[in-house]
Structure 1
């Protein structure tokens, strides 16, 4: 098994240590892993899940398919306009794209055999971790904010996970989980701090590459809170480009809700990290319909900003009314998507992205949180 390393201060740690962050700067880990090239002409006949890209994954595909896989991945591409295509990642076992990363964490935990697994989430990551831990036979506790959608809380409990409902916001929930993660024998299945999650989400781009005949679109648009889908996409783009499997890197377009947009503000200010509260940035305590990306202080902010700039991309924001309108518009087209998952479609209409070759994700099913109503 490979090692964790800290991208900020260079500290290293064996994966088996169950350490969930750098002991020096307390930042998220990266992974010492070099993906091998995936030959597109070798994919015919392989398993129809994300594990078909086994050369690019840091865990054994054969073991994971047998023990924890629920058939995640290989979601369809559906045209929305002549130039904009949606990838229906809400058609996953737990109805969100988070299954891509959760299956990696559950397989890693199964191999490490911790006393228990814990996770924190605004809903979708928690449901994914709960489901895959159930599949792997792992004891699991999920911390969620008190305001989490009742349907998501119900789903977490249905999978047999222990629930810890935390008073306060998403960041208070993360603090509570991280305190528990410091106990001996605990595996912190963090979709933010554990880089194995990013190696799962990168399969989103590998699937686009395969389904578009060995190419990528001009732009890839993703919603960003903690940045797990965007950073996974950046990993895949680097790997495909580095192996000569694509000729150019697509621009990464990151979308945030205007009500909670610390990364967009930092990007426009030319900053390398999100600005501290009271240091010239707006306050971002406002609630938003896009609860899944309402993250005021994302731990991987520096990496997110660097990844977007490296591809010539940008940050866009959308209002609450634009989110509501986008959700209804997609529903009228036959696609019922939760309010966080429609942010990118809202950005297409608000910022004129139509007219470019664009793929965007529809990340979570509308049944998870219902139709957004006017305030």
Structure 2
């Protein structure tokens, strides 16, 4: 498998772009609603490269949303559609060398809005004649984001979530008009249920894991860092990793900016997992290039960081390669470290959910890196889950 990169062949327009399987090269038109490779069942990449470099000096007067980086987006154009004003979140210092990007200040209170707006806009452009309903699966935040943007585009939406999902998150999903289906079992059981529904005719599967348009939304996180820092990036970009959508989006953006000569070096990617559920960290330390294919399915142990408790992420090989090629590494955090980090941030005026504090928890445990700068994302608002139990 290969990671999505800025070197994939360009497409003439959004309408003619194709999905491409990074494992075996299979292709499908975007209009087909095929949500996975028919040969291997894996997730798609997208044949797309930016039309031209994003003009740093011309961004000031642009719309304050993800669409300000239209040159870098596969759905950009003069009539770019749905938006809730997502993006442009504050970047504030936590220490002399570590800054935090407050992505919990998104319209639905999590960074997942970056990808959800792309999926909803894609479904809208495919048209009601092709898309009758939208289906998503989530541990909470992605489903909430998809529900909100489907409400904005008036698309019927069903979100599958594990039955143990925070009631505050399911209430938010329902408030946006989506139907919530509670699935017995873990996150993987939820994905299986959603995928069965996704195979029904006229269904657009708004998968933040399988659909690469989501990654082209999350990559705006790094474009914003680049803009905020005046045309440069920090030495390390620290990201939480479950399914890896923020990390792979970040790696896409780093590759694009570097290929266009807009940055001179590539920052290291520091991937953070909860110690309780850390299959990628274990594979990385073992020198593996993918997760073992014969690992039996099992229910992962509970963790406060429910949003990254993914035992078998479909893009595992891409994530491992991206971290290695960046010169980065994996870090894991304990439940006690998550609790401590949440309280520490709250004492600084920032109330963030336990999954969203994972990166800060990891950096608090590291020795100071003299002369090196890092950015951590605070990905979800504490109002979604409340304070972690002591």
Verify same fold: TM over 0.5. Answer: yes
RMSD: 1.3
Match of 2:183 in 1: 166
Answer yes or no: is 1:60 the counterpart of 2:89. Answer: no
Alignment pair present for 1:310 and 2:325:
yes
CA contact (8 A) 1:277 1:283 kept: no
Contact 1:230 1:304 in 2 (8 A): yes
| Cα drift, residue 277 of structure 1 | 6.0
What's 1:293 paired with? 308
Q: How many angstroms does 1:93 deviate by? A: 0.3
Find out whether 1:92 has 2:109 as its counterpart: no
Distance 1:27 1:276 in 2: 13
In structure 2, stretches of 5+ residues that fail to align are: 1-14
Q: CA deviation at 1:349?
A: 1.1
2:30 pairs with 1:12: no
Q: State the TM-score, normalizing by the size of structure 1.
A: 0.97
Q: CA deviation at 1:130?
A: 0.1
Is the 2:186–2:299 contact (alpha carbons within 8 Å) kept by the matching residues of 1? no
- Give the Å deviation of 1:351: 2.4
1:217 to 234, 237, 248: 234
- State the match for 2:6 in structure 1: none
Residue 284 of structure 1, CA deviation = 7.0
Q: Is the CA contact 2:158–2:180 (under 8 Å) kept in the aligned structure 1? A: yes
Which residue of the other structure, out of 13, 19, 29, is the alignment partner of 2:44? 29
| Residues 259 and 284 in structure 1, CA contact (< 8 A), matched pair in contact too | no
1:147-205 deviation per Cα after TM superposition (whole angstroms, max 9, x unaligned): 00000000000000011100000000000000111111100000000000000000000
C-alpha change, 1:353 and 1:170, in structure 2 (3 Å) is: farther
Partner residue in 2 for 1:227: 244
Q: Is the 8 A contact 1:241 1:248 kept in 2?
A: yes
Supply the distance in 2 between the matched residues of 1:296 and 1:187 (Cα, whole angstroms). 25
Query: Could you tell me how far 1:62 is from its partner in structure 2?
Result: 3.9
Q: 2:267 aligns with which of 250, 261, 285?
A: 250
Q: Report the counterpart of residue 198 of structure 2 in structure 1.
A: 181
Per-residue CA shift, 1:334-365, capped at 9, x if unaligned? 00000000000000111235543000100000
Give how far 1:60 is off.
2.7
The answer to whether the 8 A contact 1:348-1:354 is kept is: no
Q: 1-side partners of 2:329 and 2:299: how far apart?
A: 20
Moved over 3 A (4+): 276-279
CA-CA distance at 1:42 after TM superposition: 1.7
2:123 maps to 109
- CA distance in structure 2 between the aligned counterparts of 1:290 and 1:263, rounded to whole angstroms: 15
1:132 is paired with a residue whose SS is helix
- Show the counterpart of 1:357: 373
Task: Normalising by structure 2, report the TM-score.
Answer: 0.93
The answer for unaligned runs of 5 or more in structure 1 is none
Work out whether residues 260 and 284 of structure 1, in 8 Å CA contact, stay in contact via their aligned partners in 2: no
Match of 1:82 in 2: 96
1:342 maps to: 357
Q: Deviations 1:117-151 (Å, cap 9, x if unpaired)?
A: 00000000000000000000100000000000000
The alignment status of 1:43 with 2:54, answered yes or no, reads: no
Matched, 1:154 2:168: no
Shift of 1:50: 1.4
Q: SS of the residue aligned with 2:273? A: strand
Distance 2:299 2:359 in 1: 20
CA displacement at 1:44 relative to structure 2:
2.0
Deviation at residue 41 of structure 1 after TM alignment: 1.2
Q: Does the CA-based 8 Å contact 1:38-1:53 persist in structure 2?
A: yes
